[in-house]
Structure 1
Amino acid sequence: METSEAYPMNGGDGLHGYAKNSTLQGRIIDVCKAVAKEAIVEKLDMGVLDSSETFIIADLGCSVGPNTFTAVENIIEAVKSKYQSKGLNSKIPEFQVFFNDHVSNDFNLLFSSLPQDQRYYAAGSPGSFHGRVFPKASLHIVHSSYALQWLSELPKEIVNKNCPAWNKGKVHYGNSGDQVIQAYKAQYETDMNKFLQARAQEVVCGGLMLLIFPFIPNGIHPSQSASHLSMDLVGYSLLDLAEKVLYMQGIVSEEKVDSFNLPLYATTPQEFEAVVERNGGFSIERMEILPRSEFVNGNCPNGHQIATHMRAGFEGMIKRHFGEDIIDELFDLYAKKADEILIPAMVKSAEQGVNLFVVLKRKA
C-alpha cells in the first residue's frame, strides 16, 4: 500500500462541512452526465460486459457526498443503456460500488447519507489512490472527480530555506519562480505515474476511467490563471494575519506562512497526455474542456460563498499548521479579497475552461 499525506475535506453535516459546500463540484458532474453516458456507450468494450455477473465501479477520492452518489448513479444508468443498446436487457448485472478515500475521510457521514433507493451494493475501500487499493483486474469503471489535483505530499524543496525552490512568502506556486513551479510539476508527474500504474493493474482490459480535474490551458503561465489566484488569496490572507502578531499572539507569523503550502497542482492537457503516454497502460479516448462551475447556471457566486467552499476543503490542513483560533477571521478576510480581487478576475476569464473531462481505456 502506498503511503500518502491525507488532506480530508471537512466531515460532518455542519455549516462548514464539505457535504454542504461542494455544489460547485456537483455542477460539473451534472454537466458531464451526457458526455459520460456517451463515452460509456461508445467506448466500453463488449468483452467487459460479458466478463462478470457483477459490474464493479470505484469512485476514487469520494469524500463525503452527495456528489459521489450522483456520479455513481450516472454511470450505472449509462452502463444499463449500453446493455439495452445491444439487446442484452436480460443480462444487466448487479452493481457493486466501492467508495475510496483516505482512512481519515468521514465514512460514517458518507454511508449514513447513502440514497435509500440505491441500485447497487455499497462498500468502503480506504487508502491512498496513489497506490494499489483493489485486486488485479477487478474494476470495470473507475471514476474520480476533483481529486487528482491533490498531491501525495508537498515537494520537499519548497520548504527548504537552502533550496532555490524555497517558496518564501507564498502558499502555492501560481506566482512563484520557475524552480517552485517545476518542483510542483515533478511531484505531480510522480504521483500520476503511481496512480496510473496502480489502475493499470486494477482495471480490466477494455475497462474505462472517467476523470474530472482542474487544469490550465497549454501555454498559459500559472500566474495568469484565476484558479491559481484563488489559492494565492489564502496566502495573502494569512500574511495579513501575520501582521497582527500582537493581536494573534504570534499564532500566525511570516515564518509559519513560509512553511505552509497547498498540495495541489493543476496540470495542462499536454502534461497529462505525456504522463499517460509514458505509462502505456491506457489510451485517451476522449478529452473535453468543461465550463467554469461557477458560471454553469449563469450566476457568479459572491466572496462569502467562495470562501465557504475553500474552507470546506482547506480548513483541516490550516488548523493542523496554525491551530483553529484563526479560522473564522482568516476566511472572513478571504471572502473580502475574493469580492475585491478574485471575482473580477473570474468574470474576466469566464469563457476560459478550467476543468477537464477525460476518458481513459485500459489497453489489452
Structure 2
Amino acid sequence: MRVGANAATRLIIEAVAETLDVETFVSSHTFRIADLGCSVGPNTFFAVQNIIEAVQSKHQCQEGLHSQLPEFQVLFNDHTLNDFNTLFASLPPDRKYYAAGVPGSFYFRLFPNASLHFVYSSYAIHWLSKVPKLVVDKSSPAWNKGRIHCSNSEDEVGKAYEAQYVEDMACFLHARAQEVVCGGLVALIITGRPNGILHSQTTQNIIYDLLGSCLMDMARKGIINEEKVDSFNLPTYHMSPQELEAAVDRNGYFSIERMEDLPLSTEVGTLPRSQLLTSHVRAALDGMIKAHFGDVILDELFDLFRKKIEEEMPMIESGRTINFFALLRRKEMD
C-alpha cells in the first residue's frame, strides 16, 4: 500500500498546484480535510501532512509569501468499530492541524453542507456498505452457496454485487457532493481491476476463492457448519476505472480531473511470499471471520490457507489487478 500511496502523493501535490483555486476558500479561514476510511497507522498522517504542505505551497504561490495561511482541520473518519483511541494516541505531536474523529459509514452524510475543501480516501471504497441481500437468500437465484464472493459464481451473484456497488457509489458521491465546497477536491486511491477484466481474473478474487475453498474443506471435515459458510460473503467489489467514470457521470456534480494507474507493490522481505500474503489477508479479514465463525478456527483456517497459497502461487501470479488514483473536482453548480 505504501508504494501506491507514495506515488499518489506526487499526483496529489501536482493536482493541488494545478487544480485547487485557494482564492475561493480564503474567506473561510479554515481549510478542512476529511480522510474517509482512515487507517490507524503512520500512512494516514503521512498522507494528511502532504496534503497540507501542498495546500500551503499553493496558497503562498497564489496569495503571496507573506499572506496569512489558513488554519487546518483534519477529520478522520472510519466505521464505529475503528480504534480511534489508538489513532488519537499516535497523532504526531508536532502536527500543524486540529484533529477530530468522525465515526460512521462514508456511504452516508457525515459532515455539514459545503464544509469540506479536500476529501482523501485510500484503499477503502472497494468495501461495500453491506453484503448484497440476494446472495444470502436461499430462495434467490443469486444465492451464493459454497462461495464467499462473486468471483467464479453464477451470473446472478455477479449482478447482485454490481448492483450493490452502483448503489453504494451513488450514495458516496451524493453525500460528498453536498459536503464538498464548489471547487473542492476528492482524491481516491482505489484497488480495482483493469477495464475489461473479469472479477475471477483479478489477484484479489483468486485469493478470496482460495480462502473460500479452505472454509469449504473445513466444512467437509465437520470442523465448521456448511450453512455458516453459505451465509458468509465478503462485502468487497473491485471496480474498474470505467465503472468509476460511469458513476461520476451519473452523479453529475463532479468532474474527473485526473485518473492514473499506480505502481503495484513488489514487497520483498524475509518471509516467504505465501506467508506474507496470508498475513495481509488475515489482517484485513480476521475480525469479519471471527465475528461469523468464532475465533477457534482462525489459526487452523489460515494455516490451511497459507498451504493452499503455496500450491496455487502460479495462478495467483497470473491474476490481474490495478491500484489507481482518481481526482474529482466539485463542479461550480448547485
Q: Same fold (TM over 0.5)?
A: yes
Partner of 1:57: 33
| 1:260 and 2:265 correspond | no
* Residues 75 and 299 (structure 1), Cα distance of their counterparts in 2 relative to 1, 3 Å cut: farther
* Residue 359 in structure 1 maps to residue 327 in structure 2: yes
Q: Which amino acid aligns with 2:238?
A: A
The equivalent residue for 2:257 is 285
- Equivalent residues of 1:200, 1:282 under 8 A apart: yes
Which aligned segments of 4 or more residues in structure 1 are displaced greater than 4 angstroms? 296-301
The one-letter amino acid of 1:309's match is: H
Structure-2 separation of matches of 1:181 and 1:60: 26
> Structure 1 length as normaliser, TM-score?
0.87
Unaligned 5+ runs, structure 1: 1-24
Q: 1:40 to 1:305 in 2, by over 3 A?
A: same
Matched with 1:330 is: 301
Question: Once superposed, what is the RMSD of the aligned Cα atoms?
Answer: 1.8
Aligned equivalents of 1:223 and 1:127: distance in 2?
31
Find out whether 1:304 has 2:275 as its counterpart.
Answer: yes
Residue 157 of structure 1 pairs with residue 134 of structure 2? yes
Partner of 2:314: 344
The residue correspondences of 1:106-121 to structure 2 (distance < 5 A) are: 106-121=83-98
Q: Matches of 2:18 and 2:271 in 1, distance apart?
A: 35
**1:298–1:65 Cα change, 3 Å:** closer
Aligned residue in 2 for 1:17:
none
Matches within 5 A, 1:42-191: 42-89=18-65, 90-191=67-168
- In the aligned structure 2, how far is the partner of 1:305 from the partner of 1:122? 33
Query: In the comparison of the two structures, how many residue pairs are matched?
Result: 331
2-structure distance, mates of 1:329, 1:71? 36
Instruction: Give the AA of the match of 1:133.
Output: L
Native 8 Å contact 1:48 1:207 kept in 2: no
Contact 1:48/1:204 (<8 A) preserved: no
Q: Which moved more, 1:219-228 or 1:40-49?
A: 40-49
The residue type equivalent to 2:314 in the other structure is: P
Task: Give TM-score scaled by structure 2 length.
Answer: 0.94
Unaligned runs of 5+ in 2: none
**Partner SS, residue 28 of structure 2:** coil
Distance 1:298 1:48 in 2: 47
User: Identity over the aligned pairs, expressed in percent?
Assistant: 56
CA displacement, residues 276-305 of structure 1 (integer Å, 9 cap, x when unaligned): 111111101111111222x26799961111
1:203–1:305 CA distance, 2 compared to 1 (3 A): same
Structure 1 residue matching 2:299: 3-state secondary structure: helix
Counterparts of 1:178 and 1:71, CA distance in 2: 39
Q: Deviations over 1:191-216 (max 9, x none)?
A: 11011111001000000000011111
Q: Does the CA-based 8 Å contact 1:167-1:258 persist in structure 2? A: yes
Deviation of 1:344 (Å): 2.6
